Copies of this chain bind each other. A is one copy, B any other.
Amino acid sequence: MSSTFGTVFKVTTFGESHGKSVGAVVDGCPPGMALGEADIQPQLDRRRPGQSRLTTDRDETDRVTILSGVENGRCLGTPVAMNVPNRDQKPGDYKSMQSIPRPSHADYTYQMKYGIRASSGGGRSSARETIGRVAAGAIAEKFLRDEYGVEIVAWVNAVGRISATEIDEKMITREIVDETPVRCPSATEAEQMVDAIRAAKEAKDSLGGIVTCVCRNVPAGLGEPVFEKMEARLAQAMLSIPATKGFEIGSGFAGTRLNGSKHNDPFVRKGDRLGTLTNNSGGIQGGITNGEPIIFRVAFKPPATIGLAQHTADFNGTDTTLEAKGRHDPCVVPRAVPIVESMAALVIADMALIQKSRNK
């Protein structure tokens, strides 16, 4: 269960890392909206590994085909099914790991949950599962852009111990983000991050990091109290991405150290609307957007699959040593950027459509 996400803009994803294909079905897509594969492919390309030496060498072309829901370049309002064939199936690479659950990977828990698991790769816990999300997110994003001018931009804010220092959240664009292979728009640290990732790769180790995301021009009034507050749905969306360990909105954990008098965002007139002088709220108050940019950060752990030998136990509890042989990302954070953007788009699009039910 639970491969479905959303209430009105509803996404169902499918596919294992080494099965025939992965994909998604988007139900609730606004009828009449212009849509084609060309609207979806760019984000899939940004998600794809093999774009630089920083990521895994697998060449996954990841071509999306729209199977339904679109005719003559327009959405019919019916489910848009999208399919992306898996081209690079090498289950052999994983054979040696079948009796040993990879530490901090999902082998053990899938086995405990289902009593069976994909014989190779991570099955549904693999990074390939996110292809369906990104394809669906591209549609959500197109709707938000066309209808409200929403701009969603994520970037790498930290890799391991290196944090970006100079980023202007108001001006940042995807073009700027993509200027460095590590997708960090702070030049000095970007270079350091690249070096750190290379070093980790050579050391057969891996690195975590932090992705920050800003969503501009989101209209005020979106988000559903009580349990589907905008930040609650964003938190769910982000923590549903593989390898994530944390979520912060606005001031986040650092904000807990401020006094209320410093933390509060005073209101101020901004053109014909009310805005706030500061944005510790991260664009959300009481679970509802206030028209200011939504800003949040997502923590990604270092990838669990590393080349270094690891002392661990096999499924029987016997001590053993595991050496992974597949091709693995030393740092998923740069590739996570479009995934974070996609999940944000899915949440906001759903909330936007739900809010319409209150319009006269």
Contact = CB atoms under 8 A, between A and B. Distances in A.
A341 B243 CA distance: 24
Given A229-B239, A317-B269, A68 B19 contact: yes
B358 A77 contact: yes
A69 B247 CA distance: 30
A64 interface: no
B4 A112 contact: no
Taken together, the copies of this chain in the complex come to: 4
24 contacts: A1-B10, A1-B354, A3-B79, A4-B227, A12-B12, A14-B69, A19-B67, A76-B123, A77-B113, A101-B267, A101-B274, A112-B288, A112-B290, A112-B291, A158-B256, A160-B259, A207-B260, A256-B301, A258-B301, A260-B301, A260-B303, A260-B308, A261-B308, A268-B312
Interface stretch (A24-32, A53-61, A170-178): A24-32
Nearest to A313: B267
A221 B77 contact: no
B267 A122 contact: no
Contacts of A205: 259-261
Contacts of A19: 67-69, 71
Given A1-B27, A30-B358, A266-B310, 19 more contacts: A1-B224, A71-B119, A76-B114, A101-B267, A106-B286, A109-B221, A109-B288, A115-B358, A122-B286, A125-B225, A210-B253, A228-B240, A232-B236, A233-B236, A235-B239, A253-B297, A260-B303, A260-B306, A267-B312
A255 interface: yes
B1 A28 contact: yes
B268 A313 contact: yes
Given A2-B225, A67-B23, A227-B4, A242 B286 contact: yes
In the A-B complex, the 3 residue pairs with the smallest Cβ-Cβ separation, listed nearest first, are: A106-B286, A269-B317, A206-B260
A144 interface: no
A298 to B, nearest CB: 9
A281 interface: yes
A67 B20 contact: yes
Interface string A1-20: 11111011010111110011
B245 A108 contact: no
A231 B227 contact: no
